[in-house]
Amino acid sequence: MRHKIVAGNWKMNKSLEAGMSLASEVINMVADEYHGNAQVVLGVPFTHLSAISKLTAGSTKVSVAAQNCSQFLSGAYTGEISVEMLQSVGAEWVIIGHSERREYFGETDAIVHEKTKTVLAANLKPIFCCGEPLAIREGGDYLNYVKAQLTNGLFAFSAEDFSKIVIAYEPIWAIGTGLTASPEQAQEMHAALRAHIAAHYGQEIADNTSLLYGGSVKANNAKELFSCPDVDGGLVGGAALQSREFTEIVKAI
């Protein structure tokens, strides 16, 4: 079934103490003020997963994501974090292939594919990120660029595995810039991605795939973006760092 999801990506922000306060505030505000069925996900730093997953354990709506994981299962990979470690501290989701990971840490489509495979094998839920840089957007070939990210990163999976993946379209020119894709731009891409999925996996699987939009989503633009027929929620960076702003985005779904 296609789920509505609002996921926050805290990136490398917040001490443990500040993160626990933020998570508690969001959990309480969502419980008090949001009465819909959307799932709310907090993408927190690795160091915070254990403590914050204990806070979300009592919530029916809010759960916790890691922002990355290793493509390897265990061994001599200094500084890396495995899916088994993530499971052991209560993560339910893993954000994979964020543009900052692709751009600053050299994650290729092949690596992102391996990571997604590892996450699925551990029964964690991947949020697979894709999106084009400004030059590709301006050059006009942005639909093919992002479709190729899906083909290369995901289309080797069986239909059963693919059905467990959530996709977040995040145009790089809109991440952290204050520039947001217009609802028309978001809808155009999401419809193209859904058609691309349908061509490979069939219409039913495409219709059941949750496609999130990310890129400067704020309380004042979320409703417009979430009202697009093929936008099933959002992946939110900067605005996820304040409980009131983030909760207003959740309420916009």
170 part of the active site: yes
CB 1 within 8 A of CB 38: no
Enclosing H/E stretch for 127: strand 125-130
Quote helix, strand, coil % in the chain, to nearest 5: 50, 15, 35
The alpha helices in the chain, defined as continuous H runs, are: 16-33, 49-56, 83-88, 99-104, 109-121, 134-139, 142-154, 159-162, 183-201, 203-207, 222-226, 243-251
Looking at 55, 83, 101, 170, which residue binds ligand PEP (CB under 6 A)? 170
Distance of CA 116 to the CA centre of its chain: 12
Q: Which of 48, 98, 190, 196 is catalytic?
A: 98
Least distance (Å) between residue 217 CB and ligand PEP: 5
Least distance (Å) between residue 237 CB and ligand PEP: 2
Q: Total residues at the site for ligand PEP (CB under 6 A)?
A: 13
What's the sign of the alpha-carbon dihedral 197, 205, 95, 113?
negative
98 part of the active site: yes
| Vertex 209 angle, CA 205 and 215, to 5° | 155
Looking at 167, 175, 186, 253, which residue binds ligand PEP (CB under 6 A)? 175
Q: Would you say 206 or 239 has its CB closer to ligand PEP?
A: 239
Looking at 63, 216, 221, 247, which residue binds ligand PEP (CB under 6 A)? 216
Q: Which of 107, 170, 196, 248 is catalytic?
A: 170
172 interacts with ligand PEP by CB under 6 A = no
Q: Would you say 174 or 197 has its CB closer to ligand PEP?
A: 174
Give the footprint of ligand PEP on this chain (CB under 6 A).
Answer: 9, 170, 175-176, 214-217, 235-239
Active site residues: 98, 170
